[in-house]
Amino acid sequence: MGGPEVEALIALLAKLPGLGPRSARRAALRLLQDPEGRMVALAAALEAARRAVHPCSRCGNLDSRDPCAICADPARDGSVLCVVESVSDLWALERSGVHRGRYHVLGGLLSPLGGLRPEDLSLAPLLARIAEGGVAEVIVALAATVDGAATGHWLSDRLRPFGVAVTRLAHGVPVGGSLEILDDGTLATALRARRPL
Amino acid sequence: MEWSAPAIVLSARDFGEADRIACVLSAEHGAWRGLVRGGAGRRHGGTWQAGNLLAARWVARLSDQLGGLSGELVHPAAALAMDSALTSALLAAACALADAALPEREPHPRVFAGLFALVSRLALGPPLLAELVRWELALLADLGYGLDLSACAQTGTNQDLRWVSPRTGRAVSDAAAGAWRAHLLPLPAFLREEAAADTAAGDAAQWRDGLRLTGHFLARDVFGAQHRPLPPARTLLYERVDAIARDEQASIAHA
């Protein structure tokens, strides 16, 4: 169907997150039906991104500048550093617009049951940034999972000698969420993290 | 083919974008893997965390297929342990050990009962480490590597047992240890048969000695036989308890 070039295009698109073989076929068809309008522009954008975008040498964010726009922004609060697992988490926090400090991308989570080990994470650059001074608080913004908790505790131990405040995101009732649909674990952590009203 | 039983989640790893392959431990069926459809999603992600107790159900067309696992959360042990570094390390270590050491689809009711007791009493905090060491001894025994801590290997006495031979796994009395003390593993007081009620929970130094004792035999007999190291979670737990014990000793010396 369409020759090996089309099959190769569908196979490559199907490897992207959110796309299965069926949706990859639809995307490929849409591109092929308008090669000049969509395909050339997409190919050019892909090539430009490949050439220009690299991990930021300070925080690990993906940007065409180094240091990235966030690290280079003087309006950012350099005393608050938010540690995230991946660039997608960084982008999610940036979308919300609530964090005005800087970031550090850890590059994964420690897996106590196997998998990533401490040496696989981007810890040394984080410690170097804190050792430079000026950081008063590190926010550990990791997943509310066993791996996220293990990584958070491990990170907290490593940061203790620097004397910076280490905080983590709250776990609990999501905004717009009703109590009756929450699982027992979320309810228990929400109850323990209650605050005066 | 299907079964339903109370089960503890030992591990769960992502499979594709939305699914996970989980391993659960139940009394009747032992360690059992299955595909959890939607297990990585927002709705079920919290259920399939290591340490959680579920009402689990496994279904497959043939018994030798991976099959599908589903489950309803009964006790959210993972969420309850997350705030405490020591408790979460303890839970992760126990689950990692059971996941890596137990053969699949082979019932080990004593191991399940011990792990069930651990996950249901996480609120006890650090004293639960003594329970973990006892559970690891039961795990070793169930796998055929039980230690003999009832009497001295050299004299036969059951008094003043203070050491364990790292070679044979048998207890040694303090008098018989003699010049070999440096080569023996300390036997913590909470593991001695004559342990009084007030020493049954132990302290940080004893927990460290207990973890060192069971860790030696787990590494040599269970994981060494498979040419694998101890699970990282177990190593991290030992390091954490060792640090607590050293802090305690330093504060006592300072006082």
pLDDT in tens, B31-79: 999 999 998 887 788 899 999 999 999 999 998 999 999 999 999 999 9
- Measured distance CA(B154)–CA(B252) in Å, rounded: 35
Burial class (CB in 10 A: 0-12, 13-18, 19+), A106: buried
More confident residue, B180 or B7: B7
Q: Residue A181 domain-assigned?
A: no
Q: Do A150 and A114 fall within a single domain?
A: yes
Q: Do A102 and A156 fall within a single domain?
A: yes
- DSSP-based three-state secondary structure for B8: strand
Is residue A88 within 8 angstroms of chain B, CB to CB? no
- Measured distance CA(B20)–CA(B44) in Å, rounded: 10
Q: Residue A58 domain-assigned?
A: no
Looking at beta carbons, which residues of chain A come within 8 Å of B96?
Answer: 112-114
Torsion over CA: A173, A179, A183, A188 (sign) = positive
Can you give the CATH number for the domain in which A120 is found? 3.40.1360.10
Q: Residue A121 domain-assigned?
A: yes
Q: Do A41 and A81 fall within a single domain?
A: no
Q: Do A94 and A24 fall within a single domain?
A: no
Q: Give the residue from A100, A112, A174 showing the smallest Cα distance to A145.
A: A112
* DSSP summary character for residue A115: S
Between chains, do A149 and B93 touch, taking CB under 8 Å as contact? Answer: no
Answer whether residue B196 shows pLDDT above 60.
no
Between chains, do A113 and B46 touch, taking CB under 8 Å as contact? Answer: no
Q: Do A81 and A157 fall within a single domain?
A: yes
Between chains, do B96 and A144 touch, taking CB under 8 Å as contact? Answer: no
Can you give the CATH number for the domain in which A18 is found? 1.10.8.420
Q: Give the residue from A15, A41, A18, A44 showing the smallest Cα distance to A30.
A: A41
Task: Report pLDDT for B194.
Answer: 63
Q: Residue A13 domain-assigned?
A: yes
pTM of the model: 0.86
Select the residue of A112, A156, A171 nearest B96 (Cβ to Cβ). Answer: A112
DSSP codes of every residue in B72-121: EEEE-HHHHHTT-HHHHHHHHHHHHHHHHHSPBT---HHHHHHHHHHHHT
- Measured distance CA(A148)–CA(A150) in Å, rounded: 6
Q: Do A84 and A125 fall within a single domain?
A: yes
* Residue A130 pLDDT level (bands cut at 50, 70, 90): very high
Q: Residue A196 domain-assigned?
A: no
Is residue A160 within 8 angstroms of chain B, CB to CB? no
Phi then psi for residue B27, to 5 deg, are -65, -40
Is residue B250 within 8 angstroms of chain A, CB to CB? no
Answer whether residue A169 shows pLDDT above 60.
yes
Please count the structural domains in chain A: 2
Q: Residue A69 domain-assigned?
A: no
Q: Residue A40 domain-assigned?
A: yes
Q: Do A36 and A114 fall within a single domain?
A: no
Mutate to test the interface with A, among B8, B83, B86, B223 (most CBs of A within 10 A): B83
Looking at beta carbons, which residues of chain A come within 8 Å of B81?
Answer: 149
Averaged over B234-246, what is the pLDDT?
93
Q: Do A32 and A84 fall within a single domain?
A: no
Select the residue of A18, A153, A185 nearest B78 (Cβ to Cβ). Answer: A185
* DSSP summary character for residue B221: I
* Residue B197 pLDDT level (bands cut at 50, 70, 90): low
- Measured distance CA(A82)–CA(B252) in Å, rounded: 37
Tokens of B173: 């009395």
Q: Do A92 and A126 fall within a single domain?
A: yes
Averaged over A39-46, what is the pLDDT?
94
Q: In chain B, what are the domains?
A: 2-81 (2.40.50.140), 85-253 (1.20.1440.120)
Q: Which amino acid is at A47?
A: E
Low-confidence winner among A105-109, A113-117, A129-133 (lowest mean pLDDT): A113-117
Is residue A158 within 8 angstroms of chain B, CB to CB? no
Q: Do A35 and A104 fall within a single domain?
A: no
Q: Do A42 and A88 fall within a single domain?
A: no
Quote the domain boundaries for residue A38. Answer: 6-52
Q: Which residues of A119-143 are buried (b: 16+ CB within 10 A; e: fewer)?
A: eebbbebbeebbeeeebeebbbbbb
Q: Do A83 and A161 fall within a single domain?
A: yes
Q: Residue A185 domain-assigned?
A: no
Task: Report pLDDT for A1.
Answer: 66
Averaged over A71-82, what is the pLDDT?
95
